[in-house]
Amino acid sequence: MGARGCTSPGCRCHGHKPSYPSDLTDAEWAALEGEARAVMAELVTATGRPMVHDLRAVLDAIGYVTRYGIEWRALPVDFPPHEAVYAFFVRWSRRGLPERLAGRLRGRLRVLAGRGELPTAGYIDSQTVRAAEIVGAAACGYDAGKKLKGQSGMWWWTRSGCCCA
C-alpha cells in the first residue's frame, strides 16, 4: 500500500502505512471505504473545519485508541494529530454516524448471506431473578441450569415493537 492522502502540510500521517495490529487491513478497508465515504458525505453540510487528514488514517487512529484503551494524547506520531482525531470522533459520535455506518455494513452482510437487509427479531437478554418466598407459584419457575426458583425476564424486539414476557 502506498502513502496516504493527507493534505495537511507537515502532518506525519502523510506517509502512514498500516503497521499496528489495530489498523484496518487492505481487505477490511476495501469493504468499509464506500460506506465510510458515504457517511462522510453526510458531514459535508455540517459546519466546522473540513477534514484534511486521510480518512483511513483517522479511522486507524480511533481503532488504536479504542483497542488499547489509551488517552487521545498518547497516539503514536505517525497518526494524525490527536486533536484532529478526537475532533473527528466527537463530530461523528454526536451525529450517530458510527451506528449508521455499522447498520449499513450489517445490512450489506445480511444481503450477501441471502437474508433480508433488516433483522425481523433480535434477542437481547434473559436471566433468572431469584424470587421471594411470597411470590406465587404461577409467577415462578425453576431454572434447572442454575438450580434456583425464580422469574425469567426475557426481552426481544420485532419490527412491530418491543415484547416482554
pLDDT tens-digit series, residues 16-67: 666 889 888 888 888 888 878 887 776 666 566 667 788 888 899 999 998 9
Is 129 in a helix, a strand, or coil? strand
Per the structure block, which three cell numbers stand in for 92?
Answer: 461523528
Cα(143)–Cα(162) distance, integer angstroms: 24
pLDDT tens per residue across span 88-118: 898 888 888 788 888 888 888 899 999 999 8
Q: Can you tell me the distance from the alpha carbon of 60 to that of 66, in angstroms, rounded to the nearest whole number? A: 10
Kindly report the pTM of this predicted structure.
0.61
DSSP character string of 88-111: HHHHHHHTTHHHHHHHHHHHHHHH
